[in-house]
A and B are shown apart, each in its own frame.
Chain A
Amino acid sequence: MLTVPYKEIRPQEARKLHEQNTLFVDVREPEEFAQMRIAGAQPIPLSELAGRFGEIPKGQPVVLYCRSAQAAAWLAAKGYSNLLNLDGGIMAWYQAGLAYEGFAVGKLVGGIQGYPLERPAAVKPEEVPCS
Chain B
Amino acid sequence: MNLSVKTAYHQLERFQVVDVREPEEWAEGLLPGALRLPLSRLEALAPLYLERDKPVLLYCRSGNRSQEALKKLQNLGHPQVWHLEGGLPCTSPV
Q: Which residues of B contact A79 (CB under 8 A)?
A: none
Cβ of A108 and Cβ of B83 under 8 Å apart?
Answer: yes
Specify the main secondary structure of chain A where it touches its partner.
Answer: mixed
- Write the chain B residue with the least CB distance to A118: B30
Complexed CA–CA distance, A131 and B32 (Å): 22
Asked whether A117 and B82 contact (CB < 8 A) given A105-B70, A108-B3, A129-B37, the answer is no
Number of interface residues of B (CB under 8 A): 50
Asked whether A91 and B2 contact (CB < 8 A) given A117-B93, A123-B26, A129-B49, the answer is yes
Q: Which residues of B contact A120 (CB under 8 A)?
A: 26-29, 93
Cβ of A116 and Cβ of B88 under 8 Å apart?
Answer: no
Q: Does A122 belong to the interface (CB within 8 Å)?
A: yes
Complexed CA–CA distance, A95 and B85 (Å): 18
